[in-house]
Chain A
Amino acid sequence: MSSDHGKTLSTAEHGDEPAFPLPAHRHRLTDTSPRAARRAERQVAGMFVLSALLIVAFIAAYVAIPTSTFVNLGVIGIVQLSNLILGATFGLSILLIGIGAIQWAKKLMSDEEVTDERHPLGSPQEDRDEALAAFQMGVTESGFVERKIVRRTLIGALALFPVPLIVLLKDMGPLPGDSLRNTIWRKGSRIVIDVTGQPVKPQDMGVGTLISASPEDLNTIQEEQGNQNERAKASIILVRMAPDEIRSQQSPKGATWDYQGILAFSKICTHVGCPIALYQKATHHLLCPCHQSTFDLADSGNVVFGPANRRMPQLPITVDSEGYLVAQGDFQEPVGPSFWERG
C-alpha cells in the first residue's frame, strides 16, 4: 500500500481506532437451548410446507375460477375473483418462502457480527505508474502524436460517423407545415352531435344546454386516414345562452358568429390540449378538468382562471337552407396548445 493512499483513508481526526470496542456478543435462546432451536427449525420448515401447499391451491384456482366473476370487498372495492384467489395463494406462498428464509437466518444462523478491514480504494501507485507507462508506450508506437494528418483525418471521419444515424431519423415524421393551423371545418360543414351523429337544429337546443359536436364528415375522414388526428382538432362544444347574456364574441365588427345565442367553441384546451366539457350554466364558465383553466364563454371564451393563456377559439356558425347548424368556415386561429410558429 502506498503511503499517500493510507492517508486518504485515515487522515480523519478520529474514527480509525474504535474508541469503544464492539459490544460482546449476546447469545440467543436458540443458541443455548436445543429445544428452542428445534422449535425454530420446525417453524421455518412449516412455512416452506405451507408455501408448497399454496401452490397446489393456486393451480386448483387457475383451473376452477372463471375470469368473469367479480366480488365486492367493501371498502377495498370490487375485484375480479380469479385475480383475488390467484394473487392471494401465489402471493402468500412467495411471502412464506421469504419469511421462512429470513427467520432461518435470524434464529438459526450465526448472528455474531464480524469485522473486516477496509482497504484503500483505487490501485496502488506502482500500478497507476505502470498503466500510464503502458499507455505512453502505446501512444508512441501508434505515432498518434507525431502523425498529425492521420490523427486529424481520423477525428474528422469519426465526427461525421453519427451524421447518417441522425439523418435517418428525419423520416420519423412529416414536418408540421400548416397542419396545426387548419381543421376540417369548411363553409357549410354540418355540425353533428358527437355520440349520435345527428345534425342539430337550433330548436333542438334549449337555453343552458351544452352539446359536444363535430363536423359531419369526420367519421369518413377518420376512416380514410386511419387515425384520429382530425378529431383531436375539430371537436367543438355548442352552448346556447339567452342572447342578452352574451357580453362579447370573437367575431369582427359587422360579422355574426353565433346563431340566435348558440355559440360554438373549440373543445381543445389552449393550455396543453385536454378536451373540455365541464360547463357551469349559471356563470357560463367552462372548466378544464386537467389543470382547471376556466374560460368565460359569455365573454369571448376568455381565460378567467388557471394556467391557460389564450381564449378558446370560437367557430363561426349559422344555419343552412334546411335549417341545420353549419360552420361558416374554419376557425380563424389555431386550436389547442400554443407552439413556437403560432405567432
Chain B
Amino acid sequence: MSITVKAAGAGVTYVDQRAPISSLLKANLRKIFPDHWSFMLGEIALYSFLILLLTGVYLTIWFKPSMTDVIYNGSFAPLDGIPMSEAYASALNISFDVRGGLLIRQIHHWAALFFMAAMMVHMFRIFFTGAFRKPRELNWVIGGSMILIGILEGFAGYSLPDDLLSGVGVRIVAGIVEGIPVIGTYLMFFIFGGQFPGSDFIPRLYTFHVLLVPGILLAMIGIHLVLVFYHKHTQYPGAGRTNTNVVGFPLFPVYTAKAGGFFFVVFGVTTLIAAFVTINPIWAYGPYVPDQVTAGSQPDWYIGFLDGALRAFPNWESVIWGHTISWNVFLPSAVMPGLLVTVLIIYPFIEAWVTGDKREHHLLDRPRNAPTRTAIGVMAISFYGVLVINGANDIIAQAFNVSFNQLTWFTRIGVFVIPPLMFIATRRFCLGLQRRDRDLLLHGRESGQILRLPHGEFIEIHTPISDEQKAVILSKIDVPVMALPVATDANGVATPKLRAKRRRARWSRAYFGDNVARPTAQELEEAAHHAHEAHAHEVHAHGAGELADAGKDH
C-alpha cells in the first residue's frame, strides 16, 4: 500500500467513526460516467455558477449597495467631482482603486454570460436527445426554472452598479411592472418603495442578488446534481450500450481528473477573456440620471428576446370602464415569456401523454428518430431567434441600411411564419434521414462502384456498414401510433372517454404517423443474405475485369 493510500485510509477511518462515509465511497468512487462532448455543457453551466459565487463574494467586499448621493473623487479623472449614487461610485472604486478589482468584475460578468449560454445550450441538448423522458422529468422542470431564475439574477446583477445603461434598463422594467393590469402600480410602488427611482431599489436588489436568488439556485443545482447521480447519466446509443447499462469511465480517477480539470479550463478561459475583452465599461456610461439615456443601448444577450418582443409588438392599448390596459407592454413582456416558460417546463408531460409511454429511458434518442419533437425544438428556437434579432433592430438597421419599419414588419410576420416553416422543413429532413438509415441497414453504403453483371445488368456495389453504425441506427424505437378508438365496441357498448381517446390518437398520429419503421429482424436477415449474394457477384465480376467507376458511367 502506498503512503497516499495509507494516509487517505487513516483519514477515512477517522471520519468514518463519526460519519459513515465508507459505504458512500464504496458505492460511488467507481461509479461509471459516460463520456461525450455534449455532456460538458451542463458542466460549463455549473462551473460558471461556482465562478459567480466566488467572484461575487469578492465584489461584496467593496460594493456599497446604496443610492445615497455622493460626489466622486476617486482616481478615474473624467468623472471627478460628478454627483452619483454610492453604488456607482463603489463600482468605479472596484474598477480603478482596487487592484485586480476590475478583473473580478469582468470575470463575474463574463461568467454570467457563459452561465446563461451554457444552461440554454445544455437544455437544447437535453431536449433534442429526449433526455427529459422518464425518469428525468423533474430535472427538466428544475433546469427550465433555473433558466428563468438565471435571467432575473443576471438582470439584477447588471442593474446593481447603477450606471446610466443599467438604470435605463431598470426604468424599462418599472414601466413594464406599472403596465400590469389591476396590480401594476401597487406592485411597482412596493418594489421601488414609492415612485421610480426612489432610494430603496438598489439595496433591495442587492439582497435579492447576493442572498435570495443564489440561495435558491444553489438548492436547485444541488437537487439537480443529486438526481443526475441517482439516475446515472444517460448515454448515446452505440455498440455495447443498452437501455439497461451504462458504459464509460469511473468517477475516480478518470472522471474526477477530467471534470475537475475542466473546471479549471472554464475558469481559466473565462479569466483570460476577462483579461483581454472589456465588458460593461460602466465608467464610459456615467451615473444614472433619470432624464438621460445612451443611444444604441443593449441589454445583456439573454434579455434580448424580451426587448425584441417589446419592440415589435403593435401599439395596442385599450381603456375599458376608465381603466387602461397596455396590451403593447403586458403581452410581449409578461404574457409571452410566461407562456414560453410554461410550455417549456411542461413539455415532457405533454410528450409522455401523447406517447402513452411509461418506460424508463436511459439511452438517448437521435434527434432524427423523434422528428416531431426535433421540429418543435427548432420551431421554438427560431421563434426565440427572431425576437433576439429584433432586440438588436437598431444595430441591424444601421449596419444593413434598412428602416425600422421594414425590420419591424419582418419580425411581426416572421415570428409567425418562420417557426412553422422551420417545423415542416426539420420534420421532413429528419424523416429523410430515417429513410437513409433504413437503406443503410438494408443495403449498406453505396460504394460508388458500378458493376456489370454477366447478363448485362448494371448494379452498384453496396458495402455493409460497421457494427458500431448498425448499433446506432438500430437504437431507434418505433412508437406505435395509437389506433383511433371506435365509438361503440362489437357488443354495442359505448367506449368510455371517447373524445379524450380520439384526441390522443390524433396527436399520436401527428407525432409518429410518418415515422419510417425500423427494419424487422426478418428484413435484416434477408438483406444480409442479399448482400452475401451481391458479394459473390462482385468476386465473379472482378475476375472478368468489368468494374467501372460510377462517375464515368452515370
Contacts and interface: CB of A to CB of B under 8 A. Distances in A.
Contacts of A96: 268
For the complex of A and B, 5 pairs with smallest distance between CB atoms: A87-B275, A95-B268, A22-B240, A272-B175, A98-B264
Contact of B325 (A227, A273, A340): A340
Which of A92, A102, A106, A276 has the most chain B CB atoms inside 10 A of its CB?
A102
A193 interface: no
B326 interface: yes
A340 to B, nearest CB: 5
Contact of B291 (A62, A231, A338, A342): A231
B290 A275 contact: yes
A179 B359 contact: no
Interface residues of B, number: 129
B314 A228 contact: no
Interface string B173-203: 0111011111111101111111111111000
B297 A12 contact: no
B37 interface: no
A80 B102 contact: yes
Given A82-B102, A291-B311, A271 B246 contact: no
Interface string A147-165: 0000000000000000000
Interface of A: 8-23, 62, 67-68, 73, 76-80, 82-88, 90-102, 104-106, 109-111, 113-118, 120-121, 169, 172-176, 179-180, 194, 212, 214, 226-229, 231-233, 235, 267, 271-278, 289-294, 303, 305-310, 336-343
Contact of B310 (A169, A180, A307): A307
A118 B194 CA distance: 57
A232 B322 contact: no
B274 to A, nearest CB: 5
B366 interface: no
B275 A91 contact: yes
B328 A309 contact: yes
B315 A94 contact: no
Interface string B465-477: 0011011001101
B388 to A, nearest CB: 15
Contacts of B257: 101-102, 104-105, 109
B167 to A, nearest CB: 10
A12 B261 contact: no
A100 B258 CA distance: 10
A307 B329 CA distance: 8
Contacts of A214: 291
Interface stretch (B248-256, B337-345, B537-545): B248-256
A274 to B, nearest CB: 6
B230 interface: yes
B169 to A, nearest CB: 9
B182 A118 contact: no
A110 B254 contact: yes
Given A87-B276, A101-B260, A104-B257, A20 B467 contact: yes
30 contacts: A10-B243, A17-B242, A18-B239, A19-B471, A20-B470, A23-B239, A62-B100, A80-B278, A87-B271, A97-B261, A104-B261, A114-B247, A115-B247, A117-B246, A172-B191, A173-B200, A212-B291, A232-B171, A271-B328, A273-B175, A277-B293, A289-B294, A289-B394, A306-B311, A307-B310, A309-B328, A337-B175, A339-B184, A339-B324, A343-B322
Nearest to B404: A292
Interface of B: 30-32, 67-69, 75, 95-103, 106-107, 135, 168, 171-172, 174-176, 178-186, 188-200, 230-232, 239-250, 253-254, 257-258, 260-278, 289-297, 307, 310-317, 319, 322-326, 328-329, 358-360, 362-363, 393-394, 404-405, 408, 467-468, 470-471, 474-475, 477-478
B352 to A, nearest CB: 13
Contact of B471 (A18, A293, A309): A18
Contacts of A292: 311, 393-394, 404, 408
Contact of A82 (B99, B194, B293): B99
Contacts of A95: 264-265, 267-269, 271-272
Given A73-B276, A96-B268, A118-B244, A109 B253 contact: yes
Contacts of A336: 175, 178
B467 A101 contact: no
A98 B265 contact: yes
A290 B168 contact: yes
A16 B311 CA distance: 52
A343 B321 CA distance: 8
